């Protein structure tokens, strides 16, 4: 869970000791963390990055939970923690990856793909959280783009999409969810859960539509000169 939230195991234990993070469910000697724990952990990290002290965070979380049942609190957190991906992860072997990327599937490129979250190690195999991104990378490599540049592109693309998605979400937060320091009443929890569910569809639809419009404009602009050169060649000159 610490790795998924981008923090350390030590920090998780500190947050538990400070009573910011609920303890895990125990099954024998195993500690089981749910998606709600992960969402709570990300909320704590976000509030710390914004300058809140432990005492302030604990006070805000207590205010958030006061008057609510555990089901009410975890219900909204579970909505926030649900996967928004519309595609199922795909298991791939090293043999599959070598077939896709040939000699360019080097240890350094493999590590870079894992650092970017494009591949996740699962024992002797890998899992691609987004098979569509994996297939897009394979297609680019098959067209002649070096794999290391495909990975650079993937990193830049994720950063740009995060920025645009953040703009959409911030508008909703500002005008619908209210100030960051304000917490909804118990009766308003279902409404905010509904907002989060609708925000999922809104963000996905807006990004998809914007990407389609951009592709329609950008592809002719970038490749137009090459197409004109081909059209201007005399018969027999074109290869």
Residues 6+ apart with CB under 8 A from 156: none
Q: Is residue 151 part of a domain?
A: yes
pLDDT in tens, 103-122: 999 999 999 999 999 998 88
Decide which of 43, 68, 93 is a domain's last residue.
Answer: 68
Report, as an integer, the average pLDDT of 135-140. 94
d(CA 45, CA 6): 9
Q: Is residue 9 part of a domain?
A: yes
pLDDT in tens, 43-69: 888 778 877 788 877 877 776 666 554
61 and 111, same domain (yes or no): no
93 and 144, same domain (yes or no): yes
Q: Is residue 168 part of a domain?
A: no
121 and 149, same domain (yes or no): yes
Report, as an integer, the average pLDDT of 58-83. 55
Its domain, for residue 126, covers: 85-157
Tell me: pLDDT of 165 over 50: yes
Report, as an integer, the average pLDDT of 15-30. 88
For residue 1, the domain's CATH number is 1.10.1660.10
Q: Is residue 35 part of a domain?
A: yes
152 and 91, same domain (yes or no): yes
Residue 82, helix vs strand vs coil: coil
Report, as an integer, the average pLDDT of 185-194. 68
64 and 92, same domain (yes or no): no
Read off the tokens for 98: 């070598």
pLDDT in tens, 139-150: 999 999 999 999
- The residue with greater pLDDT, 38 or 99, is 99
Q: Is residue 100 part of a domain?
A: yes
Read off the tokens for 45: 């990290």
Q: Is residue 106 part of a domain?
A: yes
Task: Look up the pTM and report it.
Answer: 0.56
d(CA 2, CA 146): 33
Q: Is residue 74 part of a domain?
A: no
Q: Is residue 112 part of a domain?
A: yes
Number of domains in the chain: 2
Tell me: pLDDT of 78 over 60: no
DSSP string, 140-194: HHHHT--HHHHHHHHHHHHHHHHHHHHHHHHHHIIIII--TT----GGGHHHHHH
Q: Running DSSP on this structure, what letter comes out for residue 34?
A: -
94 and 48, same domain (yes or no): no
């Amino acid at each position: 869970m610490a790795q998924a939230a981008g923090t350390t195991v030590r920090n998780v234990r500190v947050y538990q000791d400070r009573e910011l993070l609920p303890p895990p469910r125990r099954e024998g000697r195993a500690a089981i963390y749910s998606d709600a724990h992960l969402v709570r952990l990300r909320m704590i990290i976000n509030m710390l990055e914004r300058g809140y002290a432990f005492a302030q965070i604990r006070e805000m979380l207590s205010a958030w939970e006061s008057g609510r049942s555990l089901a009410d609190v975890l219900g909204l957190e579970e909505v926030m923690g649900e996967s928004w991906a519309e595609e199922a992860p795909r298991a791939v072997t090293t043999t599959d990856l070598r077939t896709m990327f040939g000699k360019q599937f080097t240890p350094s490129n493999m590590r870079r793909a894992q650092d970017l979250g494009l591949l996740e190690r699962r024992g002797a195999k890998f899992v691609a959280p987004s098979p569509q991104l994996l297939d897009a990378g394979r297609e680019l490599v098959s067209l002649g783009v070096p794999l290391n540049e495909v990975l650079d592109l993937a990193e830049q693309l994720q950063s740009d999409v995060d920025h645009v998605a953040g703009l959409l979400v911030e508008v909703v937060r500002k005008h619908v969810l209210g100030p960051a320091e304000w917490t909804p009443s118990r009766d308003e929890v279902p409404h905010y859960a509904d907002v989060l569910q609708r925000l999922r569809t809104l963000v996905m639809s807006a990004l998809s539509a914007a990407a389609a419009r951009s592709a329609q404009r950008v592809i002719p602009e970038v490749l137009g000169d090459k197409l004109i050169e081909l059209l201007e060649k005399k018969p027999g000159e074109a290869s």
